Amino acid sequence: MKVALFVTCLVDLMRPSVGFATLRLLESAGCNVHVPETQTCCGQPAFNSGDRQAALALARKTIAEFEGFDYLVAPSGSCADQIRTAYPGLFTDDPEWRRRAEALAARSYELTQFLVDVLNIQHVPGEFSGSVTYHDSCSGLRSLGIKAQPRQLLAQVPGLTLREMPEAEACCGFGGTFAVKFGDISAAIAETKCTNALAARADAVVGGDLGCLMNIEGKLRRMGDETTRVLHVAEVLAGAPAAPGGKAG
C-alpha cells in the first residue's frame, strides 16, 4: 500500500516531530510511505481568504503530486478537509481537473481517520504516562466527522487516561488568518477553550491540528500555565522521540 504523507506547511515549518510521528505510525502499520518532495501547502489559506485563483493553482499542484499514490494522509483535519471537500468544488468549469480532484479527494484522509477507518489498527507504538484531554478541531469534527477515531486510538496507548473537557467540540479561536486579523477576539475565544481544557485537570491537551495546538499552547502559557503539555495526537500515538533536531532552545 503506497501512502503519500502530506506533511502540511505548518508541521513542516513549526513542528517536524509531528511529521516524523506520523511517518512512524504509518510505517509501523505496514504502509509503504512516500513523502513527495515538492509538496508545499494545500492552498487553504488562500481559499479561506477568498483568493480563488491562488487556491486553484495550489490545488492543481497538490493533485498532480499526490494522485499517483493509493492514499494521501495528512496529520491535520483542516488540510485533509481542504483536499477532500474543497478541491472538487474548485473545478466547477473544468471536468477533467474535477475528475482528478474527486479521485484524489476520495483517497485522502486525516491521520486518525486513516488509521481507524482504513487500516483498522489495534495497536499503536506509543506509551504515555498520565492523562490527556482531547480538543476536537472544527474541520475534522464538523466536516469529516472525526470524533471517535482519535479517542479509539488514544485508548490503545498504554498508561494513558482520557479525561474529557467541557465543550471539547467548541472552536479554539484559531481560524487561520483570523488569529492574526482579529487577534484580540481570537485570543479571547482561546481563553475560553483553555479554561475548559484546564478544567479537565489533564497532563496534556491533545489535538489533531497544529494550528489549534499552537493557539492553545500559546494561550495557556500567557495565562501562566507552564506545565500542561500540548501535543499532537500523532506524537502521543507514536511515542516517537522528538524530531532529530530536538525541541526549540
Judged by CB under 8 A, the chain residues 216 through 245 that form the site for other proteins are 217-219, 221-222, 242-245
Q: Minimum distance between the CB of residue 158 and other proteins, rounded to whole angstroms?
A: 26
From 45, 64, 161, 239, residue interacting with other proteins (rule: CB under 8 A): 45
From 40, 129, 201, 241, residue interacting with other proteins (rule: CB under 8 A): 40
Q: Minimum distance between the CB of residue 63 and other proteins, rounded to whole angstroms?
A: 13
Q: Stretches 66-74, 108-116, 175-183, 199-207: which one binds other proteins (CB under 8 A)?
A: 175-183
**Residue 155 touching other proteins (CB under 8 A):** no
Task: Give SS3 for 223.
Answer: coil
Interaction residues for other proteins, span 127-146 (CB under 8 A): 138-139, 142-143
Single out the residue of 10, 9, 19 nearest to residue 211, CA to CA.
10
Task: Measure the CA–CA gap between 200 and 188, rounded to whole angstroms.
Answer: 19
Exposure on the CB side of residue 68, measured as CA atoms within 13 A:
7
From 149, 196, 215, 228, residue interacting with other proteins (rule: CB under 8 A): 215
CA distances from 233 to 159, 186, 207 (A): 15, 23, 5
**Residue 184 touching other proteins (CB under 8 A):** yes
Task: Measure the CA–CA gap between 135 and 112, rounded to whole angstroms.
Answer: 14
Interaction residues for other proteins, span 61-80 (CB under 8 A): 61
Task: Measure the CA–CA gap between 174 and 149, rounded to whole angstroms.
Answer: 22
From 3, 4, 15, 105, residue interacting with other proteins (rule: CB under 8 A): 15
Instruction: Give whichever of 92 and 122 is closer to other proteins, judged by the CB atom.
Output: 92
**Which residue is listed with cell 492543481?**
60
Q: Which residues pair with 4 in a beta bridge?
A: 34, 72
Q: What is the total count of residues that contact other proteins (CB under 8 A)?
A: 72
Single out the residue of 27, 30, 61 nearest to residue 43, CA to CA.
61
Contact of 207 with 137, CB cutoff 8 Å: yes
Q: Minimum distance between the CB of residue 237 and other proteins, rounded to whole angstroms?
A: 18
**Residue 27 touching other proteins (CB under 8 A):** no
From 159, 183, 201, 241, residue interacting with other proteins (rule: CB under 8 A): 183
Task: Measure the CA–CA gap between 85 and 90, rounded to whole angstroms.
Answer: 10
Instruction: Give whichever of 50 and 122 is closer to other proteins, judged by the CB atom.
Output: 50
Q: Stretches 55-63, 116-124, 149-157, 232-240: which one binds other proteins (CB under 8 A)?
A: 55-63
Task: Measure the CA–CA gap between 11 and 19, rounded to whole angstroms.
Answer: 6
